[in-house]
Structure 1
């Protein structure tokens, strides 16, 4: 009797499992049918980023990125060691690394709460990088986290933590899959990637199945980041299943490891590492950006209308590296004081005047002034600044964010001595202030102080300059630029600035520029300059125009000299 019941139970389970598989296949076929109704851009009918979701990114503009894969155990670059690897290496990567992946200290809530403390509005996790290793319970491949000693769905833990603490959920997904290509007899490489996840029928279905799992098994997904080939296939499934999901990379401009020289016209997001590598790398912990530099990058990104997706690499055991956390805590302190200056803001008429940066409130005539590079500014130390692009009105008010302008601890000063003040003069708006608030024991503050100016207007119409072409040869570079608009003045000075390009990730450590002599221009048009430089180097450069009140630059371009 027992055996008969057991057999009956097994049969019923098999029937139920078979029915579930049929239902899932039918559901997937329906998704594919809907997705295939889109055109090549994936923006037909209801498919596409909704305007209100793009506006959400403009408003919130600061998120955390987590790059993490099975090879974090090795401290290597994530996934890319497989490109050009021997068969032996690939086989051991796929068979051995899952057996030792045991992030026993992984706590998704810890990362989510750190992001919230830093003032971030969303967080994104690499569900699958190019290697093909999946951090979720997928039915599409055995190369996933369930077949490791950890044996738990990391994506589930991550999404649940986001939902619990009301932080927008972001998923990173790579349609490119090195293991899939290898298993189908292809050489692992990036360009061209074969088979194609956008055109090979079997590969397309594989991607559709994985994305369907991600978009149906975890509730609302707010942000989706697509990396590599296969964006069309992925976008179609994401928007078909969750039309309100915002797709960043794959649908909007998304520079990597850099901030554009000029503000892009459309919505954009840059993703950037704390060091020079996305995944945890113990050998490069001494090359991490310090907290002050990260704050400057956040300010520049928001001043140019973009969103900053700042990356951390969890350790192999799942914990946060102490040095990375220390940097984030410094960012958290600055943002806790100054959050309103980077949330619900838009670019001002200029992004910056040298080391003074600006954002403008989305709905009001309020401008935020970021006083950067003011190292070790004592809270009792009054300093003076002049800004050329902002003009006060009879209703203008001035405050220092975080400080009430009345008390400086241990001084006994009257409010008149502590309050900030401003004066409109012919050469610009003069600001006088002290930090006031005691944020560190020493009383000194190395991060940017932010001034809030209400009811202000633009003082001028800025000029506009654009980069042309540059030619490098035999120890020299000839730069070309074009003055597009004079602004509200009769003449301007134009020239160029350049610097050695240190590398894809490394260049964010270099903020020193060499300037060419400036020449006067009274009409719009082209201009050139030739400079001598060392051979066998690559240089980054930009055109420059100097207005009587401010300086504007072109975008960042590169040129090599052989």
Structure 2
């Protein structure tokens, strides 16, 4: 009996080991600085005609140098790339026999996809291709309304058209490791696996949250897709970028929770990366050059974090990596103290700062001192490696702890549902304490905030009152004064001594009050 088609488990494990990838959103409408592809949806006939017939005639990225992109990605620690071969507009950034709406019919003419693949392959970076089944040009040619989510059975010829293009991509450019389908993928995933069973299909086959991270760790592979600013494609004005520190923190959190981070760039229409995006990649490159060991070939630790300290664990061996984040830069030579309850040092344990020599001495003693004090691992470290001229390091410092054992066993909480009351704008949060961990009692409660994507500044979590539980089971807390019509997220919280754990983030919407006749 033929096994069902799907991602192979060993290939998913390989994919997880890559850890960090570069997403590249680029098409000929980058000339306008618009959202990629989407401007065709809801557009007038005049706009569509000029988009299809005129805009390609001026696309000629004379400064396109994919080797520069690939070298920078390698420095930044990216182990795979995903390039937009065709976005929702249907414009193909590759040579194709299926349509004239492609890079072949621009002044540039050259096969951009081929050159990107060859450049990244030269740097040893795994090749991934983005493909949108939502082909607005094809829909327009069929005189159908242009919008996303059209299923193949709703538009004659669409599936055949997409399958032909996917086969071109999988057979004309050598081995393609990863395919990302941004739309209905039935009938397309199968083409990938039939062509090469080792192909990893990400979106369309595994979880790929966009502009957000999940609240808890997962044993299943997943990939977060994140922009540096607010747009996927080049946005020349009205753009606001995250800091390099924030992007590094997102990478750390993603790996601590068992996922991959696919970080996006949007090249300019001339082929260059925007200066701001290049600068952020170089900041990540320095951090990765020092700390990359803690990101690749790792697995989640027993808990993702303890306060402002996040964890990963080596796939092989007994090392745990502790990422020390903070609100202020760490001056050279300054000593900071950590108390960790979730890690217990073994008899042969060592503690070191990644990138820093082990024998350095600060003004007040050895740069790294530590000791196991009952159930607390006490660490005192001074950062001695000079990475910036001003001797102040703004990004997370990483400790490698060998012979690390599980320390305090934390409780386990599972977030339930939010039951809203339209009349009072109140809500009942529900959860379950599934395991007490170590201890006779656990302090349980909830946190909540307005739900925002990572393109916006997040609100601080608001805390409910806590309840002490001495046995597992359901618990709930009611809150009021929520904003009518707003979307929130909440999560269960459990405190056991100095360790706090969380359930997954669950989204809910507060109903808006009825208006008009419905209110009478």
For the residues of structure 1 that align with 2:264 and 2:496, how far apart are their CA atoms?
A: 37
> Which has the higher mean CA deviation after the structures are superposed, 345-354 or 44-53?
44-53
Question: Are 2:375 and 2:407, in contact at CA under 8 Å, matched by a contact in 1?
Answer: no
For the residues of structure 1 that align with 2:336 and 2:135, how far apart are their CA atoms?
A: 55
For the residues of structure 2 that align with 1:436 and 1:227, how far apart are their CA atoms?
A: 46
Question: Are 2:309 and 2:323, in contact at CA under 8 Å, matched by a contact in 1?
Answer: yes
Q: 2:490 aligns with which of 541, 546, 549?
A: 541
Give the secondary structure class of the aligned counterpart of 1:187: coil
1:207 partnered with 2:156: no
1:250 partnered with 2:204: yes
Question: Are 1:276 and 1:284, in contact at CA under 8 Å, matched by a contact in 2?
Answer: no
1:556 partnered with 2:511: no
Question: Are 2:443 and 2:467, in contact at CA under 8 Å, matched by a contact in 1?
Answer: yes
1:549: how far off? 3.5
Question: Are 1:501 and 1:538, in contact at CA under 8 Å, matched by a contact in 2?
Answer: yes
Q: 1:448 aligns with which of 396, 401, 422?
A: 396
TM-score scaled by length of structure 1:
0.88
1:378: how far off? 0.9
Q: Residue by residue, what CA displacement relative to the aligned partner does 1:284-322 show, whole Å, maximum 9, x if unpaired?
A: 33x111100000000000000100000000011110000
Q: For residue 516 of structure 2, what is the aligned residue in structure 1?
A: none
1:499 partnered with 2:449: yes
Decide whether aligned partners of structure 1 residues 258 and 445 sit closer, same or farther in structure 2, where only a CA change above 3 A counts. Answer: same
Q: For residue 523 of structure 1, what is the aligned residue in structure 2?
A: 471
Decide whether aligned partners of structure 1 residues 511 and 301 sit closer, same or farther in structure 2, where only a CA change above 3 A counts. Answer: farther
Q: For residue 295 of structure 1, what is the aligned residue in structure 2?
A: 248
For the residues of structure 2 that align with 1:406 and 1:511, how far apart are their CA atoms?
A: 42
Q: 1:321 aligns with which of 264, 268, 274?
A: 274
Q: Residue by residue, what CA displacement relative to the aligned partner does 1:44-85 show, whole Å, maximum 9, x if unpaired?
A: 637321222111122121000000112111111111111111
Give the secondary structure class of the aligned counterpart of 1:323: helix
For the residues of structure 2 that align with 1:209 and 1:538, how far apart are their CA atoms?
A: 41
Q: For residue 227 of structure 1, what is the aligned residue in structure 2?
A: 182
Bigger fraction of residues in helix:
1
Q: For residue 352 of structure 2, what is the aligned residue in structure 1?
A: 399
1:534: how far off? 3.1
Count of residue pairs brought into register by the alignment:
508
Unaligned runs of 5+ in 2: 513-520
For the residues of structure 1 that align with 2:509 and 2:316, how far apart are their CA atoms?
A: 44
Question: Are 2:450 and 2:459, in contact at CA under 8 Å, matched by a contact in 1?
Answer: no
For the residues of structure 2 that align with 1:324 and 1:450, how far apart are their CA atoms?
A: 24
For the residues of structure 2 that align with 1:534 and 1:227, how far apart are their CA atoms?
A: 33
Q: Residue by residue, what CA displacement relative to the aligned partner does 1:360-379 show, whole Å, maximum 9, x if unpaired?
A: 01011110000012521112
Q: Which residues in structure 2 correspond to 1:22-101 (within 5 Å)?
A: 45=3, 47-101=5-59
Unaligned runs of 5+ in 1: 1-37, 39-43
Q: For residue 489 of structure 1, what is the aligned residue in structure 2?
A: 439
For the residues of structure 2 that align with 1:316 and 1:540, how far apart are their CA atoms?
A: 38
For the residues of structure 2 that align with 1:480 and 1:398, how far apart are their CA atoms?
A: 41
Q: 2:237 aligns with which of 261, 283, 287?
A: 283
Q: Residue by residue, what CA displacement relative to the aligned partner does 1:509-531 show, whole Å, maximum 9, x if unpaired?
A: 31621111111011111111122
Q: Residue by residue, what CA displacement relative to the aligned partner does 1:461-480 show, whole Å, maximum 9, x if unpaired?
A: 22111111113333323211
1:213: how far off? 0.5
For the residues of structure 1 that align with 2:109 and 2:302, how far apart are their CA atoms?
A: 53
> Which has the higher mean CA deviation after the structures are superposed, 393-402 or 239-248?
239-248
TM-score scaled by length of structure 2:
0.94
For the residues of structure 1 that align with 2:36 and 2:387, how far apart are their CA atoms?
A: 38
1:186 partnered with 2:141: no
Give the secondary structure class of the aligned counterpart of 2:400: strand
Q: Residue by residue, what CA displacement relative to the aligned partner does 1:135-170 show, whole Å, maximum 9, x if unpaired?
A: 001110100001011111000111111222211111
Structure with the greater alpha carbon radius of gyration: 1
